[in-house]
Amino acid sequence: QVQLVESGGGLVQAGGSLRLSCAASGSIFRINALRWYRQAPGKQRDLVATISSGGFANYADSVKGRFTISRDNAKNTVYLQMNSLKPEDTAVYYCNANIMQYDLTRRDVWGQGTQVTVSS
């Protein structure tokens, strides 16, 4: 019923920028936290950034000062602005939404992932 659609991934040179978007649709009463994760080849999936319903953001140390998470509540969309990209940022990036459903239960919903490749 709830779907997250991601876009914005691609190939970029080191030092470049990309902006990822993830739009939620479906039967949603409330979106609580929104998060971006990433998973590099042979690595575990790691949390990159979190933004609360009130707009408070937290970042992994590896991306602080380079990435910015934001949200547009009217559009049910979360963004990840990625600047000064490094080859080690290469990964599949996934958005995650903590959803409150109309029965007031919570669910975590995942996007399909989008590939970000940073060349040196």
Q: Decide if 114 contacts 21 (C-beta within 8 A).
A: no
Q: What is the pLDDT of residues 23-73, one digit of tens each?
A: 999 999 999 999 999 999 999 999 999 999 999 999 999 999 999 999 999
Q: What is the pLDDT of residues 64-115, one digit of tens each?
A: 999 999 999 999 999 999 999 999 999 999 999 999 999 999 999 999 999 9
Count other Cβ atoms within 10 Å, centred on residue 97. Answer: 22
CA distance 81 to 71: 11
